[in-house]
Each structure stands twice: as structure tokens, then as C-alpha cells.
Structure 1
Amino acid sequence: MRKTAISTVGLSKTYRIAQGRSAPNRITDAALGKLRNPLSRTRYEEFSALDDVTFDIPWGEAVGIIGRNGAGKSTLLKLLTRVTAPSAGIIDLGGRVGSLLEVGTGFHPELTGRENIYLNGALLGMGRAEIKKSFDEIVEFSGVEKFLETPVKRYSSGMYVRLAFSVAAHLETEILAIDEVLAVGDAEFQAKSLAKMRDVARSGRTVLYVSHQAHTVTTLCTSAMFLERGRLSYFGDVDTAFARYRSSFAAFQKEQLDADRRPGTGEVRFTRVAMTEQTQDPSDETVIEFDLGAGESVGKYFVSCHVNDVNGNVIVQCDSRLTGQWFEPDEPHSGRLKIKNLWFRPGRYTVDMYVCQAGLLDVWEGAEAFDVLPSSPYPEMTSDEALKHGAVLADFAYEERP
């Protein structure tokens, strides 16, 4: 067996993105456009999703891949699992790769759960006898035994994930690659999956795990790589990788002030996002103000806000559509979000803002940041042990009942 499970040298992936107006969606529009401008040519610009990434991963490592949206995490996993080909560089895999990249990947919707298990195994180069040996374990772990003869197109997203993960984890591949699709499953299945991935790594196989959730990476992984704008910024200790992630926020926040550099179609953009208070006590209301520019006629849209802890875990999501608030695109808007009855733990938090319709119109990550002071909102003084666990603090009371 080779000394390394995965080795890459100068790995890069570049995409060509068409510039200018959106493409016609009817053949008549395309023909008329060609007649009116016969010499016109579509212009493209190159987008580097990954740039000169080199690393070696030994056998038995569980490697977390972290970074902000657009950093290249999913692109790296797709290259390593041969879903897409690199633009440059070398990938050396020491064995077969079982993967779960997104809901439904590798499943044929018209086939039953049973048939898809055998299909996935065959695609990995396994014989029927080899697949049959793991079949009962796969079914038991996934919990979809009652629906095994049902076409998977009728499965819920949670059932898809449970079966797909179970197939990837139990078939005898040497490398297991998992994207953050486990977020679709319930909490019990997520815990069960993390335990299974730990067992996979202990058995000498190699695990690659993409996640935004710091606690799952810390729990599962023995090392981590931090990707930043398509480049490998750090590969090593998990705690150091997250420290690098946190320290990069100031530069990233400054970069995102330029709306043209932010993701989204740009049909509507935020022009301002600001905290009314940069510091607050845990029990204070959190108030975020925002301004939106007028946009093209795209129909009504809604606004969403994510508040993240220092490691990038989403603590709370506030969608304006949940409260019935939609915005018209033909005029600018000024708004205010009040987060009430939520006690943030002391620490630093960042704010991501989204303009959403069928797709994303603007994605402003790191739009703001605020600090929650290290003060207790509770009336009694006690040891820190009483405040140690949980993502947030709670406004609660114990009462005697008759």
C-alpha cells in the first residue's frame, strides 16, 4: 500500500464565465439576436475556483476542509472524487473513493433503494458478492428498510441522505469523502454518522469532511485544511486551522464591502448593513439596520440574516418571509431586524446578509460583527460550569408545582 492515501501537486480548477446579458431562453430570440448582431461574440472571463493546491494525506487521517462560501471546498472534493477534471495539476489516489457530495448524487431516481445500493457498489468496481456482504449493515444503518423496494424519487431528502451515507460508509472503499449534506439529516442520525466516520478512520481508511460546523470538525477530525479564495492557506492541526479562519475575518470583511466582488446575481444589492450597538449584554436585543438599492424588475424578494459564532457556526437564521415581509425591487428600502428573547453567550459574532428570490441576488458575508460582553444575565452567582454548554443562554425558570 502507498504511504499516502491522497497526494496532489499544483491542483487547479478554472471555469469560464460568460459576460454580458443573460442568454436567450427561446430559439426565436437567439435567432433574432444573431441576425441583428451577426458578428457579436460571447465574451468570457476566467474564474479560478482552486489555485495551485498541493498536499499529502496519510492513511487513517480524518481531514476537515473548512473555509467560507466560495473558498473552493466543494470544488476540491469534486476533483478528488473525479466528479470533475482538474484544469491543471496531479491527483494520486491510493484507493477507491466512496463519496456523498450532495443529495441524490449517484442515485438513479427510477430505481428502488435496493437497486441503487447495488448500482453504487458496481460504480465503485465491486462485485455482487462483495456488495451483498455489506447489504444488511447498509439497510440497518440507514433505517429505510420499509422503503427498500420503493423508487428513491419518492424518498424525502432525509431518507436520501441516510441511505446514501450508509452506502458510502459501509462499502469497502479506502477513502470516504463527505460534503456537508449531513445537515439535512436529523440530529440523531448526524451523531450516528459522525461516530461511523470515526470508526472508518480508526480502521485505517481516510475520511475527507467538508463542513461549516466547527463542533463536528473538532469532534471528528484529526487534522484540517483551511481554504481561502481557492488557495490552501493552512493544513495541519484542527485548532490552528480554525484560528486561521477567525483571524482572516477582518481582511475578508473589507473585501466584501465591494458589492461587485460579492456572490449573487446583483439584480438587487445591499448598500449598507450596520449594528446599532457594537457591544451588548447577553440579554439585550440585537438590532441590525440595512439599506437596499433599487433593482431590476425581478419580482418581490425577501431578506435573510445569519448570525454566526467565532468559528462560523450559524447560531440563528432570521428570514423575513417567515414574518410575511417581502420587498419590491423597483424602489430602495431601509429596514431594521430586531432579534428578541435570545440570549447570546459572551463572545464575538458575525452577521451574514442575503437577498433572496428563486436564487441569491446578493450574499454579503461578514457584513457586520458585534461583541457580547462577559456578563451573566442570571440573578445568582455560581461557577462557570453552570454556563459551559449550549450555543445560547436561555431565559428560564424552575418552579415548584403542586
Structure 2
Amino acid sequence: MKDIILKAENISKQYRLGTVGTGSLVHDLNRWWHQIRGKEDPYLKIGDTNDRSTKAESDYVWALQDINFEIERGEVIGIIGKNGAGKSTLLKILSRVTAPTTGSIKFGGRVASLLEVGTGFNGEMTGRENIYLNGAILGMTKKEITSKLDEIIEFSGCQRYIDTPVKRYSSGMYVRLAFAVAAFLEPEILIIDEVLAVGDAEFQKKAIGKMQDISKSGGRTVLFVSHNMEAVKQLCSRGIVLEHGGVAFDGEISEAISLYLSKENFEQVLVNNTLFVGENCEISNTHMQAENNLVTNGDEILIKTQFKSIVDQNYSVILSVFRESILVFAATSFYHENPISGIGTFEIEFAIPKYLLNPGFHHCNISIVDGTGNFKQYLLVEEILSCNIIDDGFRRGNKYMKGWDGAVSPILRIKCTKCIC
């Protein structure tokens, strides 16, 4: 028997474009006249799809259209999609900041949300006073809030400024305190938008750890929106992908992320014939071997480039591979048995073993350095190649393997010996 804590049925949200945001008196009167006669809202039949890249043909746009999903108690859901896909609008409806045009939402508990910096805070009140204010909004008694006060202040790291008006806080301090309030005042449903990105790396790690704790040990539900796919994959078990205001996918988080990355308009560069000139050296004709412009994690990935030396000396070529801006590894020709030496043109090939890289968007840097060991840099070409690595599904064919975490997933030589005692 499922324990459903949140159910969204046929949620749609319509906005009117232009200088007047919500409509006009004529439209309101027309809606009212249709309503008292038991007729359908006439403006529900018109409106463009939510696609920010296209020119509007109507005064109305559907920010969301026919959204349906159920969330069980204790689930951690990642809501992902491009800018303008409808993520923030959906969270505002779930947080009851705005009402849907059509549809209904059923809740099974209290909702706390952190949608933007300063949400629910009064700038003239101190941090301590805002903790009590937010607790009261959540329906907690003063005694309940007081019992959690020290934990909230300690987690936020704002002890020194807790009795200072929050209008003097930095955006990072705002988010720290707001998240601590939302997490520690024990709502049954916690909704977090991209706002956590304002905090520093240490706070983001701490916040993700706290969200994992409250979902696992506290049985509370978390809805998390972020463009940081590593954080989403680490925290969430299920993903909902929004596209043009509709649900494009609802299922296992790794599949959701792969779909999102494949739909993103990343600039995929598998061939780069540009000539890059450095100090006494050149790079040209760089390419990644791939069939039909698709690279899967089950392929051995070959990266080739032509290097030209103009002076007689030793060189090393360094390949750096990044996954969504995070360095995965760097490889160098320095330790190769045939060093690059002398004047001439050389073809350099790097072979990345299959199933080393996990699915996701990757790009490569190539740099030329001194080959004698002091690593003086002569040329650096950033993002010379880029590609979206697709999951071939082989590793997830086993139902007991839900995916492979981390930036890389090498196949190691593993030895297991039974001990004779």
C-alpha cells in the first residue's frame, strides 16, 4: 500500500504576456460570465506552449500544462529541465505561492519551501526573530521552535550575526539561515529550488548531507531543483524532467539525467580542424572517433591530434577531461616510451578505455608543456572537443545495479581468495 504524501492532478498554469501580467477587466468579466452559466473558461482554449526560444503567436502562454505525478512519503525527487521549462512555476504552485489555472494538489503534511534568497524573511527583523516568524508560518508553537533554536543557529554558521537584522546579511548568509530553518523545523515536505547554489561548496555539501538525513531517518519528502547534476544524482532516487511546461520523463534518476543531458543544447564538437599556435609549436586536426556522432560509455574513445614542433626540444602533451566542469582526469605523454622530441609533425592518440567514463556531458583540454620535467606550458587549448556520453544500458541490465556513481567507473582487477584457517 503506497503512502502518498503529495498528489498533483492535471496541473496547468497560464500567464498573459505583455505589460499587463494577469489579464484585463474585460477578460475577468468574460470568465465570470462563462462561469455563472456553467461554461468552460474561454481562455483555456488558447495559448502557446512554454518555449522561450520561439516567437509568441498568442497573448497567453502555458507555463505548465497537464502535470500529473504522485510522491510517496520519504522520497527525494529531483526536478530538472532547461531554463524556462516550468520548474520554478511548479514549485511555486506546490508551495502555494501561486494557484494553478487548472488542476488540484493534495498534501499529506506541512510544506516548507526555499525558492529564492530571502523567501519568507523580514529584512528589518533579526535572524533570531525570523526563525520564530518562519516557524509560526509553518504552524509550530513557540516552545517547539525554541527547542530547535540552538541547532538551527549552529548549522547556519551565523552565530555572530544572529541578532543582526537580516537586511545586512550577504546572500550566502541569507541562504544558510533560511535552509537551516526549513530543515530543522521538521516539515513533512521540503521544497528546495536552485537557491542553494548561492552558498559556498562547504555549505552545499552540508546541506545535501542534511537533506539525505531528513529523508532517510526522518521519513520526510524532499523536492530538489538544481542544474548541478552531480548534486541531483547524489541526493535523489527519482527524477522528473520538465520540457516546455510538460513532464518529459518521470522515473529513475540516472535515466532522467541522461535524458536531460541529451536534450540540452550542448555544443558537441567531435571534430576541430582549427589551427592553434603556441610558443614554437602548433596543434591542428583534433578529433574524437565516434560513429554517427554518438559516443557511449561502452565505446573505447579515441582522441587524436596533430602536433607540430618548430624547435628541437622535448615536449609533453597533456589531455584533461572534464565532466560538467569537474576535472575527471589528466593524462600525459611524458611517461610514454616514445617521447616527443625534435622538429617535425607528430600524431598523438589517447585511448580512453570503455566503461571508464560515466554518462554525461564532457569536454577536453589539450596543453603542450616542456618534456624535460619542469612542465613549462607552451600552449593551452580549452574545450577543444566536447561530447555528451550516452549510457548504453549494459551495466544497468542487472536489476541489482541501479547505476554507477562518481565521475569514473573503472573495471578493476579484483582478487578474492578464500582463507584457510
Q: Is the shorter-chain TM-score for this pair beyond 0.5, marking a shared fold? A: yes
Cα distance in 1 between the residues matched to 2:210 and 2:85 = 27
1:193 pairs with 207, 225, 249, which one? 207
Of 310, 330, 335, the residue aligned with 1:380 is: 335
Question: How far apart are residue 47 of structure 1 and its match?
Answer: 1.1
Deviation at 1:172, TM superposition (A): 1.5
Q: How many residues align?
A: 275
8 A Cα contact 2:3 2:73, kept in partner: yes
Tell me, what secondary structure is at the counterpart of 1:104? coil
Contact 1:2 1:94 in 2 (8 A): no
Q: Paired residue for 2:191?
A: 177
Q: CA–CA distance in 2 between the matches of 1:98 and 1:52?
A: 24
- Paired letter, 1:56: E
CA shift in 2, pair 1:378/1:137, >3 Å? farther
Aligned to 1:213: 228
Q: Distance in 1 between matches of 2:150 and 2:117?
A: 22
Q: 1:345 maps to what in 2?
A: 321
Aligned ranges 1:1-400 → 2 under 5 Å: 3-18=3-18, 45-202=59-216, 203-249=218-264, 279-280=271-272, 345=321, 376=331, 378-380=333-335
Question: Which protein has the larger Cα radius of gyration, Structure 1 or Structure 2?
Answer: 2
How far apart, CA to CA, are the structure 2 residues paired with 1:2 and 1:199? 22
Task: Give the aligned residue type for 2:213.
Answer: D
1:172–1:220 Cα change, 3 Å: same
Matched with 2:50 is: none
- The alpha-carbon distance between structure 1 residues 87 and 145, as it changes in their structure 2 partners (threshold 3 A), is same
User: How far apart are 1:280 and its partner, in Å?
Assistant: 4.0
In 2, Cα distance between equivalents of 1:229 and 1:243 = 18
2:10, 2:104 within 8 Å by CA — same for their partners in 1? Answer: yes
Residues 348 and 207 of structure 1: CA distance in aligned 2, closer, same or farther (over 3 Å): closer
What are the superposed Cα offsets for residues 159-201 of structure 1, whole Å, 9 maximum, x if unpaired? 0000000000100210110001111111000000000000011
Return 5+ residue gaps in structure 1 as ranges. 21-42, 254-273, 286-309, 311-341, 350-373
- Summarize deviations over 1:110-158 as a string: whole Å, max 9, x none: 0000000000000111110011111110000000011011000000000
CA distance in 1, matches of 2:106, 2:320: 45
Identity over the aligned pairs, expressed in percent?
A: 48
Amino acid at match of 1:93: F
Q: Say which SS state the counterpart of residue 17 (structure 2) adopts.
A: strand
- Distance in 1, matches of 2:151 and 2:323, equals 43
Pair 174,375 (structure 1): closer, same or farther in 2 beyond 3 Å: closer
SS of the residue corresponding to residue 5 of structure 1 reads strand
Q: Deviations over 1:24-83 (max 9, x none)?
A: xxxxxxxxxxxxxxxxxxx97111111000000001111000000000011111110101
The 2-side partners of 1:347 and 1:150 are apart by 41
Q: What is the one-letter code of the residue matched to 1:16?
A: R
Checking the alignment, whether the CA contact within 8 Å between 1:80 and 1:91 is kept in structure 2 is yes
CA shift in 2, pair 1:187/1:392, >3 Å: farther
Partner SS, residue 59 of structure 2: strand
How much does 1:279 deviate?
2.2
Aligned partner of residue 201 in structure 1, secondary structure: helix
CA spacing shift, 1:205–1:391, aligned 2, 3 Å: farther
Aligned to 2:41: none
Kindly state the Cα deviation for residue 5 of structure 1 after the two structures are TM-superposed: 1.5
Q: Classify 1:187/1:140 alpha carbon distance in 2 versus 1 (closer, same or farther; 3 Å).
A: same
Distance of 2:10 and 2:207 partners within structure 1: 32
Write the distance in 2 (CA, Å) between the matches of 1:64 and 1:136.
30
What is the CA–CA distance in structure 2 between the aligned matches of 1:199 and 1:284, rounded to whole Å?
Answer: 50
Moved more, 218-227 or 44-53: 44-53
Amino acid in structure 2 at the alignment position of 1:380: Y
User: What secondary structure is seen at the aligned counterpart in 2 of 1:212?
Assistant: coil
Q: C-alpha root-mean-square deviation of aligned residues, in Å?
A: 3.8
Post-superposition shift, 1:15? 0.6
Work out whether residues 19 and 44 of structure 1, in 8 Å CA contact, stay in contact via their aligned partners in 2.
no
